[in-house]
Structure 1
Amino acid sequence: MRILMSALLATCFLATGGQMSFAQSNARNKPAAEKPSAKKPETKKPETKQEARNARGKPAAETAAKPGKPALVASFGDWGAYVASAGKAKTCYALAEPKERQPSGLKRDKAYIFVSTRTGEGVSNELSVIMGFDVKGDSTPRAEIGPTGFDMVAQKDKLWVRNAAEEGHMLDAMRKGQRLSIKAQSLRGSTTTDNYSLSGLGQALDRVRKECQ
């Protein structure tokens, strides 16, 4: 159930306005051995490309105006803390965009990394990444924080930690580190690296925990 939720958490994010909203995506299936999966209410997407472009430019206050939509509650360094409520359930997450993308001339959509907590499901600190392009299915994307690395698993344009038992270890390494590199191969065979600053992550996660206790 966790995997499907964070996938659903990704499309809504893109549909409702880039980093000013949170992510929910199409239903996806992942091997049960990796992580369980679940469903999340869908958010209506913009009907046209122009509406989608307009949505990405909306400030947080506007995109969070309706119930269930996320609001940016605080910014720390290069990370933001977001909250969305649906009835008694809350979704809270820390989010960042890459500071550097290589190769620089490669055409692709925006990328984001999330650390999500969903009170209605008992899920906390779930790591997921939107790459901005479809990742080669038989490849093994890699997350690196200094000398420490973690294998990822891909489905279309989204990544999760391959071994769910390592998720907490990766998060600890991120709290202590300065930079996170996500390396992946596209369907066309391009090898890419997205570099994220980890400045402010610890504070953003503390705020997420406070909002979604």
Structure 2
Amino acid sequence: MFVRKIVTALAFVLAASGVASAQSPTRIQQFNAWGAYSYQAGNGKVCYVLSVPKEKSPASVDHGDIFFLVSQRPGQNISYEPQAMMGYQLQDNSKVNVVVDGRTFVMFTKGNSAWVENAAEEPALVAAMKSGKAMSVNAKSRRGTETSYSYSLSGISAALKQIEACK
């Protein structure tokens, strides 16, 4: 049920983001909290690892479906790009902070997603996730609600290794 929910949600997200030629994602394998997935897009195969938060705050609001993923898009020359996807619209011009074991990485926002502000820091974030114990994501909704999510990093290294050879 959990996997079906993720695949369905991602198929919707891909369609909504204009990836019209994308097929439904296929789960490659699950590694503890992280799953490895792939799909065919118009300009080649896309592979990614994905997890959902183990805790959401504040508990009193509907967060929708929340994901954190790291994608590989060889056809676009993109390797290990972290992205936060929220179940709501993020506040315009706000920042999302990803904290791994006390180290903060800043993401810029657009719509319901966020990407690392300084692309040169993407490898450092991925490396921190691979060696880290805890990760949190802090964001602000379009309505001004401060939100926070805690993720398990258990399985991230094995999941990333699984998509290394994405072609």
TM-score band w.r.t. shorter chain? 0.7 to 0.9
Q: After the TM superposition, which residues 11-50 of structure 1 pair with which residues of structure 2 at under 5 Å, given as runs?
A: 17-18=8-9, 21=11, 23-24=13-14, 41-42=19-20
Contact in 2 for aligned 1:22/1:82 (Cα 8 Å): no
Cα 1:22–1:179 change in 2 (3 A) is farther
The amino acid across from 2:20 in the alignment is E
Runs of 4+ in 1 over 4 A off after TM superposition: none
Match of 2:141 in 1: 186
Comparing both chains, which one has the higher relative contact order based on Cα–Cα distances under 8 Å and sequence gaps of 6 or more? 2
Q: Aligned with 1:167: secondary structure?
A: helix
Match of 1:71 in 2: 26
Unaligned runs of 5+ in 2: none
2:48 to 88, 93, 97: 93
State the Cα distance separating 1:119 from its structure 2 match.
2.0
Structure 1 vs Structure 2 CA RMSD:
2.4
- Could you report, residue by residue, the CA deviation over 1:172-212 in whole angstroms, capped at 9, with x for unpaired residues? 101011221010111222111011111000000000113x0
Q: After the TM superposition, which residues 109-128 of structure 1 pair with which residues of structure 2 at under 5 Å, given as runs?
A: 109-128=64-83
* TM-score (structure 2 length as normaliser): 0.87
Unaligned runs of 5+ in 1: 1-13, 28-39, 44-66
1:175 to 125, 130, 152: 130
Q: Aligned with 2:80: secondary structure?
A: strand
Q: How many residues align?
A: 163
Percent of counterpart pairs with the same letter?
32
Q: After the TM superposition, which residues 140-155 of structure 1 pair with which residues of structure 2 at under 5 Å, given as runs?
A: 140-155=95-110
Q: Aligned with 1:133: secondary structure?
A: coil
* TM-score (structure 1 length as normaliser): 0.69
